[in-house]
Structure 1
Amino acid sequence: MSEPKTPTAIPAGDTYKGWVFKWTNYIKGYQRRWFVLSNGLLSYYRTQAEMGHTCRGTINLATATITVDDACNFVISNGGAQTYHLKASCEVERQRWITALELAKAKAARMQAESDDSGDDFPPSSVPVAHGQGGGSQNSEVQSALRTLGSKVEDLSTCNDLISKHGSALQRSLSELDSLRLTGEAGDKIRQVTERATLFRITSNAMINACRDFLSLAQAHSKRWQKALQAEREQRVRLEETLEQLAKQHNHLERAFRGAAQANASAENKSAVGPVKGEASDEDDDNEFFDAMEEAPEFITVPADPQFHKSEPLVMNQESPSQELVPLKKRRTRIPDKPNYSLNLWSIMKNCIGKELSKIPMPVNFNEPISMLQRLSEDLEYHELLDKAAKCQSSLEQMCYVAAFSVSSYSTTVYRTGKPFNPLLGETYELDRQRESGYRSLCEQVSHHPPAAAHHVISDRGWTLRQEITVASKFRGKYLSIMPLGTIHAVFEKSNNHYTWKKVTTTVHNIIVGKLWIDQSGEIDVVNHTTGDRCHLKFAPYSYFSRDVARKVTGVVMDKDGKAHYVLSGTWDEKMEFSRVMQSSRGGENGTEGKQKTVYQTLKAREVWRRNPLPEGAETMYYFTALALTLNEPEEGIAPTDSRRRPDQRLMEEGRWEEANAEKQRLEEKQRSARREREKEAASAPHDNYQALWFERREDPITGEQVHIYRGGYWEAKDRGSWEGCPNIF
C-alpha cells in the first residue's frame, strides 16, 4: 500500500523537525541538513548534535514566501536576504513540510500583526514604584486604554451593520437594473457590475461573520482580560516589594557576615583548636549544586534518569580537622600603587620580532614586581583542591580535583599583562605556609639559557608537587606567545597515585595597538600513572565568531579502559564544575563534519573550584591576588638568593623605576661576568657547567625526561641559619 498523500498533523507546540536536502553550491550540490521549525522560525543545523550550540541559519516565516518547484523541491525566501532551496526525500514528505510551514507562517504573521497593533501596554512612566506608589496613575491609564478599545469595538460593530445594510441595498438596485432587460453594451456592463457586486457581497458576508464572531468573543472575554491584567499588575507590585525586601536582607546579611568574620578572626588568634581552611567545607560541598555550564563543543551532556540521583555520595574520608595552624604573622594586604609611567612598548619591541622573550632587554616599566619564581609559586593559590584530592577514596573523583587544580593556576592571569622578572641563575624563592596551610614550597632557577626553574612542594596534608618549567616565547608582532615546557607531577601519599600534566600556551594580544589582553589555549592530558585513569582538558581559544562562553574549558575523566566517569566544564578564569556520568552513547548522524559526538547522561553538576575575588584596589596594584600581594613581602631567615632580596625588584615595587632599571642592568652584567668566569674555569667543557644548589639533574622515573629534582637540605639549612653554599648573585 502506497503512503498517503495527506500531510501528517504537526506535533504539539507547533514544532516540526527532520532531515531535508539543502542546496549549498554548484560543487557540493544538495547536502543533508537537520531542519527545525519552531515558534514561526525555520532553523537548520549540519547535525542534530549541533542544536545545542551552532545554528547555521534561521528564517522568520512571518515575512517569508513559500513556493513549490516540483514534486519534491520547494523554496523559502524572505525577500532576497535569505533563500533556501530545499528538497524532501519524497513528495509526501515535501507536502508535510509545506503544510507545517504554511500553518506556522499564518500563525507567525497573525502574532506579528497583533504585536504591532498592541504596541507597549505600559509606557515607562507608568511602572509602579515600591510599596504601591504610582499604582493609581497606572490603573487610570489602563482604564483609559480599555475605554478606547471599547469605543473601537463599538465602531467596528457599527461598520459591520452599515456594510450589511448598504450591501443589501446595492444588491437590490442591481437586481432592479437587471430586470430592465437592457441589450447591447449597456447590458454587458450591468451584468459585469452585477457579478462583481455578487463577489463583493460574498466577501462582505464572510467578513461580517468573522466580525460577529470577534465581537462575541471580545465581549465574552473582556471581563476576564481585565481581571487577568489587574492580577498581573498586582503580582508585579508584590514582586518588586519582595525584591526590595530581599535586597535589604542581603545587605544586612553582608554586614552581619563581615562582623562575624572579624570576630572569628580575633577569636582564632586566641584559640588553638578549630577547622582548617578548605577542610571544614567539604561536607557543605556535598549539598551544593549548581546549574551545568553550556554544552561542550566536542560532546553533549543531558540529565540522567532521575532514579540515579538518589545515590551520588562524595566518597571522602571523614577525618576530623587537625589542630588549627596559627599563622606566624599577619600578611600584608597592599603594596604601593603602580606609578603612571608611559612608555611605548612597540618602540622597544619592533626590532625584536621573532626573538626569544628572555633575550629581549626589557625595562622594568613592563614588569610586575615579582619574579617568575614567585609567579610559579602562585600555582599554589588553590592548594585546597589538592588537600581535598588527598582525602578522596576514589581515584576517579580525585582526578576531578587534580584537573580542576591544573585549570585554577590560570585564573590569576586574566588581567596580569605585566611581565615577571627573569630570575638570575641561582636565584631561589621559598613560600613557607606550613603553619597556615600545611605546605612548604621551594623554587630555584637552575638554568639561564634556556631559562628553567625547578619547583618542589611538600604538604603535611598528604601530597607532593614538583615541576620544572622552561618558558619558550616568541614575539610575533601583533601578539606574544608563551609556551611553558615541562611536566608537572602530583603524588598523593596515601594512595600512591602519581599524576602528570603539562601547561597550555598563553597568548598576549594587542602588542601593537589597543588594550593588552590574555588568552589561554590548548589541551591538557592529566594522567594517573598508578591506575591508568586519564582526563583530557580542552582550553578553547577566544573567537569573535564563537557562540560559546569565553575562556571555556571542558574535559572528560576516563578510566584505563576508556569508560567515561565524570564530565568537567567551566572557564579558566571563573569556576569549574564536574558531573557524574551515568550513561554515554554515540549521538546523532555523522553529517559532513566527520565523526559522531558522544552524548553523556549526567547527574547535576557540582562546583569543584571557584576563583577568589580580587582584593579591593587591585587595579592599581598590578591586579595582584591576595596571595600575590604577600609574595614579595620582606621576611626574616630566608636565603640570601631569595627573590625578596632582589634590589631591582624591590625598587620597582616601591615605585622608584629609574633606579630599578639601573639596578637591573647592574645585576644582569654581574650574571654575565659570573658566566664568563665559569667558562674560563672549564674551558674544555662544551657547555655551561653550572650546578644547581638545591636540585640535582637526573632522569625522571615516570617520563624519562632529564629534569632537576629536589635533593633536600634547604629547610634544614634554614633551621640552622647556615647559607654558606649560596652564591652571591645580588
Structure 2
Amino acid sequence: MSEPKTPTPVPAGDTYKGWVFKWTNYIKGYQRRWFVLKKCLLCVIWVLNSQLLTQAEMGHTCRGTINLATATITVDDACNFVISNGGAQTYHLKASCEVERQRWITALELAKAKAARMQAESDDSGDDFSSSSPPVAPGQGGGSQNSEVQSALRTLGSKVEDLSTCNDLISKHGSALQRSLSELDSLRLTGEAGDKIRQVTERATLFRITSNAMINACRDFLALAQAHSKRWQKALQAERDQRVRLEETLEQLAKQHNHLERAFRGAAQANATADNKSAAGPGKGEASDEDDDNEFFDAMEEAPEFITVPADPHFIISKGISALNEEPLAMNQESPSQELVPLKKRRTRISDKPNYSLNLWSIMKNCIGKELSKIPMPVNFNEPISMLQRLSEDLEYHELLDKASKCQSSLEQMCYVAAFSVSSYSTTVHRTGKPFNPLLGETYELDRRRESGYRSLCEQVSHHPPAAAHHVISDRGWTLRQEITVASKFRGKYLSIMPLGTIHAIFEKSNNHYTWKKVTTTVHNIIVGKLWIDQSGEIDVVNHTTGDRCHLKFAPYSYFSRDVARKVTGVVMDKDGKAHYVLSGTWDEKMEFSRVMQSSRGGENGTEGKQKTVYQTLKARELWRKNPLPEGAETMYYFTTLALTLNEPEEGMAPTDSRRRPDQRLMEDGRWDEANAEKQRLEEKQRSVRREREREAASAPHENYQALWFERCEDRITGEQVHIYKGGYWEAKDRGSWEGCPDIF
C-alpha cells in the first residue's frame, strides 16, 4: 500500500495539523505520525491517512498530548526540533523541510504564548483555563480583538439602520402633514381662522424644508458610511495580505539563517562526516544536500587584492610628471556619436507591460537542474526582445570603443576596452525578464551607420547548444565580434547563467587585438521574494598584440560586506607585469581609472598570509557613466533608450529578422495569450524542420546545419571553433535579395 503524499501543514480554524516524523527508538528510528495542534495542546495520533480521521476518532486514536503552556521548544537542526514538558514527556521531531519546520515552530510558539496568557488571565479572574478563548492559529487574527471589532461594527450597523428608519418616517409624516394643510387651505376660510391656517402652513413649510435638509444629510451620511465601510474592508484585507507577506519573508529569513548555521558548523567541524552526524540518534540533524549550492548572497566578504593610496606629491614633482597631463587624450574629445544628427526619429515608448499573474513554481518545480533553454517557458516571464537583440545591447556604450580607437597609448586604450566590457552589464540591473530564445537561422541587424558609424549583425548559428554569432564593423576604426553560448541551470532558489565564448575587439590603426569573456549572471529569489540580479566572477582583458593585460574582478553580493554593492576593481598591466592603471567602480553605475605612480608590498596580510600590493595613484577620473533610464521605464520592462528601439520595425529587413517574429510582436503589443499560442506554433515548426533535416542527413553526428551569413572555422588567436562573418548580408540588403533565407516564422 503506497503512502499518501505528505501534506504541508495548513492552519484551519483554531487547529494546525500535518505529518511529522517522530523519533521512536534506535531500532525503528523516525516514524511518520499525524500531529494536531488544538486548544494549546499538541496531540500525536497514529493513523495511516489523515482523511480517515474524524473528531470522534481523534479521541480514540490519540496516543499522547503535551500542554504547551509549560512546554519548552528548542531547535536542533535545519529540520529537527524538540518539544519537552519536563522529564515526563519529550518529543524529538523532524519536519520534511526547513520551511515546514519553521511553520511548525511559529505555530507552536504562538500557541504557547496564547496558553500562557490565558492561564494568567484565568488566575487573575478565577475562571477555569478551559473557559478562555481558543488559541490563535497562524495567519488568523486575535479572538478578543476580532470580537471587539465585530461588536463595534454591529452597534454601528444598528444605529445606521435606526437613522434610515427615522428618515423614512419623517419623510412619510411630513408628506401627510403637508397634504392635510393643503386640504384645509382649499376650504377658503376667512377671518381669524384663515390667518391661523396660513400661519400653520408657513411653519409646516419651514419644518418640511428643515426635515428635507436633515433627510439629505442622513442620506449623505449613509452613503459616506457605506463607502468608508468598503474602504475599511479593503484596508483590513491589505493588512492581512501584508501580514502573509511578512510571514513568508520570515520563513525565507529563517531558511537563510539555517544555511548560515550549517556553514558555521561545517567550518568548525571540517573533519566530521555526514555519516557520523546521522548515526547520533535524536537531536542530531542531517546535513542538507543544498549545502553544495553556491549562494552568492551568503558569501563572506573577501579581502581586496590590492590597496590604493594617493601618490606623494613630492614624488610626482621629482619625476617631472604633471597630474593634468596624465589624463588620456581621448578623455577631452567629444563622443563621435554627438557629431551627427540622427536621420530617423526613433521611438521612445512601447506598450506598458500587462499585469499578468502566473505561478512560477508550478512551472519550474519539475525543472530543477535542467538548462534554461530546454524549459518550456510562457512569455509571461520574457521581455519582448530576443537574445540576439540583447547581444546587440552590448553596443549601448559604443562610444567607449570610438574613444579607444583614437588613443595613442595601448595602455590607455586598454582602460576604455575594459570599461566597455563592464558597461554591457549596466542594462541588466533591473532586467529580470528572460529574452526570447532565437530560432535556428534567426537574424537581427542593427544599422546605425549614419547615426553612430557602426553596423551590427547577429545570427543564431546553433540550436542545441544555443549559440549566436555577432559581428560589428565601425567606420571609427574598430571591429567587434563574438560567439556566445549560454549555459544556464535552475537551482530552485536561484538561476545561474554562464555565457561561454570569447569576445574580440580589433582596432585598425594600432592593429591591437583584445579578447575577454563574460562573467556569471545569477538571478536570486526565483520562488520567494523579489527577483534581483548579481554579476560575479573575473575577466581577463588581453591585448594579444602587445601583451598588455587587465584583470577585472566582479565582487559577488554579500550580506556581510561593508563595501559598495556591485563593485568592480581591476589593474592594467604591461607584458612585464608592471601596473600602470587601477580601475574601480560598479557595473551598474560608473567606472573610474587612476594612474599608478608607484607600487609596493604592504604590511597587512591578505588571504592565506599573502601581502597585499599597495598602489600609489593620482586622483581618479571618470571613465564611463551609465545613461539614465527613460521616463516610465518601470512600466516598459526597464528598457534603456536603445532597447526601446531594438524591436522597432524598419524597411528592408531580412525575412529572418527578430523584428518579424510574430510571438515577440504580439507580446510587445500586450496580447500575451495570443503570443503564447504563437510561441508554441513556432517551436513545434522548428522541431519538425529539425527532424526533417536529420532524416535527410542521418550520417551527421549531431546537426547538419550551415549558417547563412557566418562560416565555422578555427580562431587563430584562441584556437576555438567559432563562426566568423563571411560577408554578403549588407550587399543582399542593398539589392533587396533574400532568396537564401530560410522560412522560420
> TM-score normalised to the size of structure 2?
0.58
Cα distance, 1:356–1:586 mapped onto 2, change above 3 Å: same
Partner Cα distance (1:373, 1:619) in 2: 23
Deviations 1:642-681 (A, max 9, x none): 0000000000000000000000000001000110111111
Cα distance, 1:243–1:626 mapped onto 2, change above 3 Å: farther
SS across alignment from 2:226 = helix
Q: Structure 1 residues 104-113 or 386-395, which shifts more?
A: 104-113
Q: Is the Cα contact below 8 Å between 1:296 and 1:554 reproduced in 2?
A: no
Q: Structure 1 residues 527-536 or 270-279, which shifts more?
A: 270-279
Deviations 1:478-532 (A, max 9, x none): 0000000000000000000000000000000001100000000000000000000
Partner Cα distance (2:24, 2:276) in 1: 72
Cα distance, 1:27–1:414 mapped onto 2, change above 3 Å: farther
Q: Is the Cα contact below 8 Å between 1:291 and 1:605 reproduced in 2?
A: no
Cα distance, 1:230–1:664 mapped onto 2, change above 3 Å: closer
Which residue of structure 1 lines up, in the alignment, with residue 348 of structure 2?
Answer: 333
Which residue of structure 2 lines up, in the alignment, with residue 23 of structure 1?
Answer: 23
Deviations 1:230-288 (A, max 9, x none): 99999999999999999999999999999999999999999999999999999999999
Alpha-carbon distance, 1:314 to partner:
3.1
Partner Cα distance (1:498, 1:28) in 2: 68
Cα distance, 1:523–1:350 mapped onto 2, change above 3 Å: same
SS across alignment from 1:264 = coil
Cα distance, 1:217–1:286 mapped onto 2, change above 3 Å: same
Q: Structure 1 residues 576-585 or 265-274, which shifts more?
A: 265-274
Partner Cα distance (1:60, 1:318) in 2: 79
Q: Structure 1 residues 588-597 or 377-386, which shifts more?
A: 588-597
Deviations 1:164-190 (A, max 9, x none): 999999999999999999999999999
Q: Is the Cα contact below 8 Å between 2:387 and 2:438 reproduced in 1?
A: yes
Cα distance, 1:31–1:596 mapped onto 2, change above 3 Å: farther
Structure 1 ranges of 4+ moved more than 4 A: 1-42, 47-296, 310-313, 315-324
Partner Cα distance (1:324, 1:265) in 2: 67
Q: Is the Cα contact below 8 Å between 2:443 and 2:658 reproduced in 1?
A: yes
Alpha-carbon distance, 1:152 to partner:
61
Partner Cα distance (2:129, 2:645) in 1: 55
Cα distance, 1:466–1:120 mapped onto 2, change above 3 Å: farther
Q: Is the Cα contact below 8 Å between 2:337 and 2:451 reproduced in 1?
A: no
Cα distance, 1:120–1:673 mapped onto 2, change above 3 Å: same
Alpha-carbon distance, 1:594 to partner:
1.4
Alpha-carbon distance, 1:683 to partner:
1.4
Partner Cα distance (2:721, 2:387) in 1: 21
Partner Cα distance (1:135, 1:679) in 2: 66
SS across alignment from 1:316 = helix
Deviations 1:587-641 (A, max 9, x none): 0144784110000000000100000011000000000000000000011101000
Sequence identity of aligned pairs in percent? 95
Which residue of structure 1 lines up, in the alignment, with residue 676 of structure 2?
Answer: 661
Q: Is the Cα contact below 8 Å between 1:568 and 1:579 reproduced in 2?
A: yes
Alpha-carbon distance, 1:684 to partner:
1.7
Cα distance, 1:576–1:668 mapped onto 2, change above 3 Å: same
Q: Is the Cα contact below 8 Å between 1:53 and 1:297 reproduced in 2?
A: no
Alpha-carbon distance, 1:109 to partner:
43
Partner Cα distance (1:540, 1:504) in 2: 11
Partner Cα distance (1:525, 1:200) in 2: 92
Q: Structure 1 residues 91-100 or 155-164, which shifts more?
A: 155-164
Deviations 1:50-88 (A, max 9, x none): 999999999999999999999999999999999999999
Cα distance, 1:559–1:666 mapped onto 2, change above 3 Å: same
Deviations 1:442-472 (A, max 9, x none): 0000000000000000000010000000000
Alpha-carbon distance, 1:326 to partner:
3.5
Deviations 1:73-122 (A, max 9, x none): 99999999999999999999999999999999999999999999999999
Unaligned runs of 5+ in 2: 43-53, 316-324
Q: Structure 1 residues 209-218 or 422-431, which shifts more?
A: 209-218
Q: Alignment length, in residue pairs?
A: 725
Partner Cα distance (2:256, 2:78) in 1: 66
Partner Cα distance (1:288, 1:556) in 2: 27
Which residue of structure 2 lines up, in the alignment, with residue 670 of structure 1?
Answer: 685
Alpha-carbon distance, 1:576 to partner:
0.3
Q: Is the Cα contact below 8 Å between 1:6 and 1:92 reproduced in 2?
A: no
Over aligned residues, Cα RMSD in angstroms?
27.5
Cα distance, 1:121–1:660 mapped onto 2, change above 3 Å: same
Q: Structure 1 residues 100-109 or 317-326, which shifts more?
A: 100-109
Q: Structure 1 residues 560-569 or 319-328, which shifts more?
A: 319-328
Q: Structure 1 residues 204-213 or 662-671, which shifts more?
A: 204-213
Partner Cα distance (1:22, 1:271) in 2: 15
Q: Structure 1 residues 383-392 or 189-198, which shifts more?
A: 189-198
Cα distance, 1:548–1:194 mapped onto 2, change above 3 Å: farther
SS across alignment from 2:82 = strand
Match of 1:439 among 435, 454, 464: 454
Unaligned runs of 5+ in 1: none
Alpha-carbon distance, 1:306 to partner:
1.9
Partner Cα distance (1:494, 1:649) in 2: 40
Which residue of structure 2 lines up, in the alignment, with residue 710 of structure 1?
Answer: 725
Q: Structure 1 residues 295-304 or 496-505, which shifts more?
A: 295-304
Cα distance, 1:586–1:26 mapped onto 2, change above 3 Å: farther
Alpha-carbon distance, 1:4 to partner:
82
Cα distance, 1:562–1:726 mapped onto 2, change above 3 Å: same
Partner Cα distance (1:591, 1:115) in 2: 63
